[in-house]
Amino acid sequence: QYPAGGSSTNPFL
């Protein structure tokens, strides 16, 4: 769902 190496911008994940 998120690009590899990228961090989630969703505080609930």
Partner 1 sequence: GDLHWVVKPEEKMKFDAIFESLGPSGGILTGDKVKPVLLNSKLPVDILGRVWELSDIDRDGMLDRDEFSVAMYLVYRALEGEPVPMSLPPPLVPPSKR
Q: How far is the CB of 8 from partner 1 (least distance, A)?
A: 8
Q: Which of residues 1-13 bind partner 1 (CB under 8 A)?
A: 9-13
Residue 8 token pair = 């989630």
Phi-psi region of 3 (alpha: psi -120 to 50; beta: other; left: phi over 0): beta
Q: How far is the CB of 6 from partner 1 (least distance, A)?
A: 10
Q: What angle do CA 10, 12, 4 make, to 5 degrees?
A: 45
Q: How many residues bind partner 1 (CB under 8 A)?
A: 5
Site of interaction with partner 1 (CB under 8 A): 9-13
